[in-house]
Amino acid sequence: MHLIFMGPPGAGKGTQAQLLAALWKIPHISTGDILRACVVAKTDLGQKAQSYMDRGELVPDELLMDIVQERMNQPDATAGWILDGFPRTVPQAAFFDKLLCNVGGGGSSSGKDCDLRAVNLDVPDNILVARLLSRGRQDDNEETIRRRLQVYREQTEPLIEFYRNREQLVAIDGDRPMELVTAELQQTLSGDS
């Protein structure tokens, strides 16, 4: 099972990814966590990433792809994975698609049928704003949250179309109690994997 979790800030994708990863005994791969782990472990890729981060720059797509690929080739990812936080743009998704089809996502170089599913947790903006405000983080005011959501929508709408056109998109209504969302994800993803 190879899943990408997409959704706006506050949609619950991290929570759902962790629950399903534990249930299916596959790793939940968060690009932020991978970057931090590579930096701490002082891997070659981690040191390259650190140099960009130290300058306050974004880690380039190619380097991020190398880091994701390295993580996906670890033994615990051979049975599958849930990727959270990547890809964020259509160019990243297209590159990732090529990578998966060529290397197989589990370390095999035989090529495979790219059994990737992109899960989009859909939640209305007013619900997201209320959820994020209830977290009570200092930098979360309504104006900041709405700006983050606008940026997310601008970057991600094309990504949703990218996966819809490839018939890899699974749209889930995330505006329900957590248990119902988890149950629908289990049923939908287990039923057609």
Catalytic, 25? Answer no
Cβ count near 127 (within 10 Å): 14
Rounded Cα–Cα distance for residues 110 and 130 (Å): 47
Give the DSSP letter of residue 138: T
Annotated catalytic residue 148: yes
Reduced to 3 states (helix: H, G, I; strand: E, B; else coil), residue 83 is: strand
Collapse the DSSP code of 126 into the 3-class scheme (helix H, G, I; strand E, B; otherwise coil) and give the result: helix
Query: Looking at 88, 131, 146, 176, which residue is catalytic?
Result: 88
- Which residues on neighbouring strands pair with residue 6, listed in sequence order? 120
Query: Is 71 tagged catalytic?
Result: no
Of 122, 120, 118, nearest to 173 (Cα)? 122
**Size of the chain in residues:** 193
Q: Name residue, tokens 């995330």.
A: 174
**Tokens at 35, concatenated:** 């970057």
Q: Residues 135, 147, 164, 166: which is the catalytic one?
A: 135
Q: State the catalytic residue, choosing from 98, 137, 153, 166.
A: 137
| Catalytic machinery residues | 13, 88, 135, 137, 148
